[in-house]
Structure 1
């Protein structure tokens, strides 16, 4: 899913930037299975932006402003212009194609990044708010240099979704369940407060002083409040992405 890919990329790019203390721009492509029933896997172009200008920054498609920067802690406010789990009804499987579209939403948030001082582990925490609810995330990662050219960054994270957020993207209204053509939807479903957790591995291979290849693999598992929805698959989301980034 595009949302999952972009979110993981933003986390991974932050990890790589901290590991290398560099700024870069680039482009990649990502693919994952869909959380929605019957929806095909898709490949997406994804930005590999990691830009800092004074206190302003851009990571992935997220833009923000750092209002506090200490030795081990930084705090920032940011905008995520494409948050959420968007799906068009026509992309669903047979028996689900007359649901309402779920749209992306712009969300504003606060972010904290902390160097724990424990074995090189860094952590991050975000909370963001939008028209269709709120989302929070905590993460931890560590960079492992593998010689002069290769850096590996494993990370783990956990997300929480408000009831409004989960219900907008994964709930089913009585109107949707009763529409002609939605023969796989028998009853309405109201999604409650939910969570997900996952892990990623990011690799950067340094081709030269200014050019690197970035590869990412990850997995995301959602709680029963989401997977019990009749429009949602219960398998974990598995994603992969590869791209190139130019440093300056």
Structure 2
């Protein structure tokens, strides 16, 4: 899903920090299975922005501002313009097309990043708030410089979603059940606060000082508060993305 791809790209790009007042721009394509039943897998164009200017930055599609920048710790405020798990009713499978659309939401948040000094491990923690609830994330990753051109960054993360957030995207109302013409959607569902765990692997190959190739693989598994929903698949989400970026 587009939200997962953007989120992992933003986190992965942040592991490949650029020097201050330097810019990287590029474009990639991401593909993922859908968390929703019957919805087709899709490919999405993904902007690869990595911009640092003073205390301002843009990672992926997420702009932010550093409130504090130390040698090993930074704290920033950011805007996630495309948060959530959007779905159009017409894109659902047979028996689910009478649900209400779920839309993207813009969220504002705070993020702290720490270089632990332990075996090269770096960590991040964030919390963000929007119209339909809140989301928190804790992540850890470790860059491996295979040589002067090739870098691998494995990472893991845990997310938490508030009840309002989870219920908006994965809950089922009585009106949606009553509109259904099939037995697929035959019960209401009130979703509570939920969690997910995930892992991703980012690879960057520096073709030269100006040009890089980037690839990402990722997986995310959701707790039962999400997967028990009658409109949600139980399978994990898998993503893959490739792209190219130019530095100047």
Q: Fold-level match, TM-score > 0.5? A: yes
**Counterpart for residue 157 of structure 1:** 157
For structure 1, list consecutive stretches of 5 or more residues without a partner in the other structure. Answer: none
**Counterpart for residue 230 of structure 1:** 230
CA offset digits 1:67-123 (Å, max 9, x no partner): 111111100000011100000000000000000000000000000000101011000
**Counterpart for residue 41 of structure 1:** 41
**Counterpart for residue 105 of structure 1:** 105
Partners of 1:64 and 1:98 in 2: how far apart? 38
**Counterpart for residue 244 of structure 1:** 244
Quick check: 2:218–2:239 contact (8 Å CA) kept in 1? yes
Pairing 1:53-68 to 2, within 5 Å after superposition: 53-68=53-68
Partners of 1:87 and 1:182 in 2: how far apart? 19
**Counterpart for residue 200 of structure 1:** 200
Partners of 1:49 and 1:185 in 2: how far apart? 40
Change (3 A) 1:200 1:18: farther
Quick check: 1:167–1:190 contact (8 Å CA) kept in 2? yes
Pairing 1:91-170 to 2, within 5 Å after superposition: 91-170=91-170
- RMSD of aligned residue pairs (Cα, Å): 1.3
Pairing 1:67-86 to 2, within 5 Å after superposition: 67-86=67-86
Partners of 1:176 and 1:56 in 2: how far apart? 43
Pick which of 56-65 and 179-188 moved more.
179-188
Partners of 1:23 and 1:225 in 2: how far apart? 41
Partners of 2:67 and 2:51 in 1: how far apart? 16
Partners of 2:183 and 2:89 in 1: how far apart? 14
Quick check: 2:22–2:52 contact (8 Å CA) kept in 1? no
Quick check: 1:97–1:182 contact (8 Å CA) kept in 2? no
Give aligned pairs, total: 247
Pick which of 141-150 and 34-43 moved more.
141-150
Change (3 A) 1:68 1:98: same
Partners of 1:202 and 1:22 in 2: how far apart? 21
In the superposition, the TM-score normalised over structure 1's length comes to 0.97
Quick check: 2:27–2:46 contact (8 Å CA) kept in 1? yes
**Counterpart for residue 26 of structure 1:** 26
Partners of 1:189 and 1:38 in 2: how far apart? 18
**Counterpart for residue 177 of structure 1:** 177
In the superposition, the TM-score normalised over structure 2's length comes to 0.97
For structure 2, list consecutive stretches of 5 or more residues without a partner in the other structure. Answer: none
> Displacement, 1:180?
3.7
Quick check: 1:112–1:124 contact (8 Å CA) kept in 2? yes
